[in-house]
């Protein structure tokens, strides 16, 4: 049985250390998350010149976004806010690290957490864990990643919002999991238990040289959609939706994109023997294609 709203709010307040953070996190239980995202999505998709201009210019100014690294150099070149938000980089902007058996960052952003999966548990924030089975919405898949490795990359609103392959692999399955749309920033990660396993998400499963691996694209507050090269833009449903695939993607290839900010989580099996690069820690800034670690694949 689901906890009542009162119980959820009490749990949130008990888990968040600062009063302003408690209020921010608790307020997210009260807002109509899905409805808010739907409304934001309609405005973000609008091609009306005045709507587009207002959204794009205001957002770019608020977050200090310039177009130096991007293919289209003029704000007027984008057909909608969504088109601007998922803007493409120039080909040379993000070289893909060529280290043999290397794992690269799937996105621009910051490391939320990185390390080993302790039995089946992933670190969400200091003292807070969630299980791989819950995240993947499948206990057997979760058990497969027991004692493996993971990296969680948070994409801030100002970041490049396409997600790329951290390794070469054959996409064999996607699993859309409906859920909440809490913010995924550090404040909410510290205050909402099982955050990444509660939010809407798309689980992507791959066959690789070191066994099965996964990239999970996690939705967030006001995220108007998730899209991948295999599925197209996902339609929200009330039930888990699974698709079979047979698509090989090379390291650095585009996997998908978010319409507004979110998080990408990479899961690697114990057999990969992943060694993360020294110096990667909570809040470390990373770029897509940057070397995060290496595996012992042969």
Q: How far is CA 23 from CA 3, 10, 66, 189, in A?
A: 19, 11, 33, 14
Catalytic residue among 161, 164, 183, 214: 164
CB contact at 8 A, 261 and 155: yes
Which residues, at least 6 apart from 199, have a Cβ–Cβ distance to it below 8 Å? 179, 180, 181, 182, 184, 218, 219, 220
Place of tokens 């798309």: 202
Which residues, at least 6 apart from 188, have a Cβ–Cβ distance to it below 8 Å? 24, 25, 28, 182, 195
Catalytic residue among 37, 80, 108, 149: 108
Our answer to whether residue 161 is catalytic in this structure is no
Our answer to whether residue 134 is catalytic in this structure is no
At residue 28, the pLDDT reads 45
Our answer to whether residue 262 is catalytic in this structure is yes
| pLDDT tens, the chain, 298 aa long | 345 444 554 554 455 454 455 554 455 454 545 566 666 667 788 899 998 999 999 999 999 999 999 999 999 999 999 999 999 999 999 999 999 999 999 999 999 999 999 999 999 988 899 999 999 999 999 999 999 999 999 999 899 999 999 999 999 999 999 988 777 777 777 778 888 999 999 999 999 999 999 999 998 866 658 999 999 999 889 999 999 999 999 999 999 999 876 899 999 999 999 999 999 999 999 999 999 999 997 6
Per-residue b or e along 248-287, where b marks 16 or more CB atoms closer than 10 Å to that residue's CB: ebebbeebbbbbbbbbbbbbbbbebebebbeebeeeeebe
At residue 36, the pLDDT reads 60
**Domain positions in the chain:** 5-85, 102-294
If DSSP codes are grouped into helix, strand and coil, which group holds residue 162?
Answer: strand
At residue 16, the pLDDT reads 47
At residue 124, the pLDDT reads 94
CB contact at 8 A, 173 and 245: yes
């Amino acid at each position: 049985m689901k906890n009542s709203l009162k119980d959820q709010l009490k749990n949130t307040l008990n888990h968040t250390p600062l009063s302003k953070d408690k209020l921010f996190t608790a307020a997210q239980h009260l807002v109509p998350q899905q409805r808010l995202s739907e409304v934001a999505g309609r405005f973000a998709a609008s091609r009306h010149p005045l709507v587009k201009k207002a959204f794009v210019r205001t957002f770019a100014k608020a977050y200090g976004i310039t177009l130096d690294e991007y293919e289209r150099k003029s704000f007027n070149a984008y057909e909608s806010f969504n088109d601007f938000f998922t803007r493409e980089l120039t080909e040379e902007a993000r070289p893909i690290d060529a280290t043999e058996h290397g794992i690269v960052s799937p996105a621009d952003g910051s490391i939320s957490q990185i390390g080993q999966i302790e039995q089946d548990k992933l670190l969400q924030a200091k003292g807070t864990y969630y299980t791989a089975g819950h995240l993947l919405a499948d206990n057997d898949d979760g058990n497969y990643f027991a004692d493996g490795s993971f990296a969680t990359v948070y994409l801030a609103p100002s970041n490049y919002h396409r997600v790329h392959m951290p390794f070469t692999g054959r996409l064999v399955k996607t699993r859309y999991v409906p859920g909440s749309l809490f913010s995924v920033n550090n404040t909410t990660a510290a205050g909402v238990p099982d955050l990444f396993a509660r939010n809407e998400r798309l689980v992507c499963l791959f066959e690789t040289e070191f066994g099965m691996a996964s990239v999970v694209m996690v939705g967030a507050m006001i995220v108007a959609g998730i899209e991948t090269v295999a599925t197209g833009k996902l339609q929200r449903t009330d039930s888990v939706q699974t698709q079979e695939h047979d698509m090989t993607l090379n390291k650095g290839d585009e996997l998908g994109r978010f319409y507004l900010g979110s998080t990408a989580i990479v899961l690697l099996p114990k057999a990969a023997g992943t060694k993360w690069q020294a110096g990667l820690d909570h809040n470390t800034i990373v770029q897509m294609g940057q070397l995060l670690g290496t595996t012992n694949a042969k």
